[in-house]
Structure 1
Amino acid sequence: MRMTICAVGRLRAGPEKTLIDDYLTRFDRTGRPLGLGPAKLAEVDDRKGGGMTAEADLLRRAAPQGALLCVLDERGKTLTSPKFAETLAGWRDTGRQDVAILIGGADGLDPALRAEADFALSFGAMVWPHMLVRVMLSEQLYRAATILAGGPYHRA
C-alpha cells in the first residue's frame, strides 16, 4: 500500500527534512515486506493566495486517484501508536492500493475537504507547526511498520 503525505508548503533543507527523509526511508525498508510503502512526500504551494479552498484543490490533485484520504486535523481521532499500526494494516488488508495523508496550511484544512476524508487523525488537541507534523507523521509511519513487523523499536 503506497503512502503519500500531501502537505501545503515547501520544506527547505534542514533538520526537519533530514528527519523526514530518514524516517520515510526506514518506513520503506521495514514496510515493504509487510505490503506497506513506498512512502513519498508531495508538497503543494498556493502561490496565488487562494486560501484554504485553493489549498484543498492542490491537495486533492496531489493525492493519487482513488486513494483513501486521511486528513490530519485536531478534531480527528487520537490513536495510540499500536492502534495507528492496526488502522494502516486494516486499510492494507481491505485492498487499499494508496493512502494519502493530507496536511493543511497555516489556516488548517478546508471544511469541504475534511468532509470528503475517509478518516481524520489527530496528534492531540495542541496545534503543531506544520513542519514538525510532517516529522511526527513520518516517525509514526515507521513506528507502525516496526510494530506490525514485531520489531523492538516500539517499547510501550
Structure 2
Amino acid sequence: MKIKIITVGKLKEKYLKDGIAEYVKRLSRFAKVEQVELADEKTPDKASEAENEEIMAKEGERIWAKIGERDYVVVLAIEGKQLPSEKLSQKLEAAKTAGHGTLTFIIGGSLGLDPKIKKRADLLLSFGLLTLPHQLMRLVLVEQIYRANMIAQGSPYHK
C-alpha cells in the first residue's frame, strides 16, 4: 500500500516538519508514504474572481499530473463530509480492499481547489468549519491517517 499526500505550497516551519516526519515514520509500518509539494501561484492583492479561478486552474493542473488513474483520491474541502475517525478508518480500509494501490490525499492552495480536482475525488473530506493554515492541516491529516491505520489494527492508540 502507498499513501501519497499532495499539497500546494512548501512547508517551512521546523516544528511542523518534525511533527509530520514523526507520523510519517509511524505510518511506514503500514505503507510507503510519498509527500508531493507543488508550487503555489502568487496571488495578487485584491485579485479578481477570474484571476483566482486562473490560479486555481494552474495549481489544479499540477495536482492532476500527480494523481494516478487507479488512486483512491481524498480531497480536503470545507464542504466535504465530516467523519469520525472510526468511519474514516473504515472508508480507507474499504478502498484498500477494493484494490486501490495508492491512497492519495490532496490539500489545495490558499484559494482552494480547482473544481476538476474536487470532481475527481472519491471522497471529499472536511475536518470541520475551522480555517487552519495549510501547513498545520498537513500535520493534522498525517496524524488522522496514522490514527485510521491504528483503529483498523485494533490498537489502543485511539481512545
* Residue 9 (structure 2) pairs with residue 39 (structure 1): no
Where does structure 1 lack aligned partners over 5 or more consecutive residues?
32-36
Q: CA deviation at 1:39?
A: 1.6
Where does structure 2 lack aligned partners over 5 or more consecutive residues?
44-53
* 8 Å contact from structure 2 (residues 41, 55) kept in 1: no
Tell me the TM-score normalized by structure 2: 0.87
User: 132-141 or 66-75, which moves further after superposition?
Assistant: 66-75
* 8 Å contact from structure 1 (residues 44, 62) kept in 2: no
- After superposition, where does 1:1-150 map in structure 2 within 5 Å? 1-29=1-29, 31=30, 37-46=31-40, 51-150=55-154
User: 107-116 or 72-81, which moves further after superposition?
Assistant: 107-116
**Residues paired across the two proteins, number:** 149
Determine the C-alpha separation between the residues in 1 that align with 2:32 and 2:150: 15
Paired residue for 1:34? Answer: none
Q: CA deviation at 1:47?
A: 5.1
Determine the C-alpha separation between the residues in 1 that align with 2:72 and 2:116: 16
* 8 Å contact from structure 2 (residues 76, 126) kept in 1: yes
Q: CA deviation at 1:44?
A: 0.2
Determine the C-alpha separation between the residues in 2 that align with 1:148 and 1:69: 19
Matched position secondary structure for 2:74: strand
Matched position secondary structure for 2:105: strand
Tell me the TM-score normalized by structure 1: 0.89
The structure with more radius of gyration: 2
Paired residue for 2:48? Answer: none
Identity value in percent? 35
User: 17-26 or 45-54, which moves further after superposition?
Assistant: 45-54
Runs of at least 4 residues off by over 6 Å: none
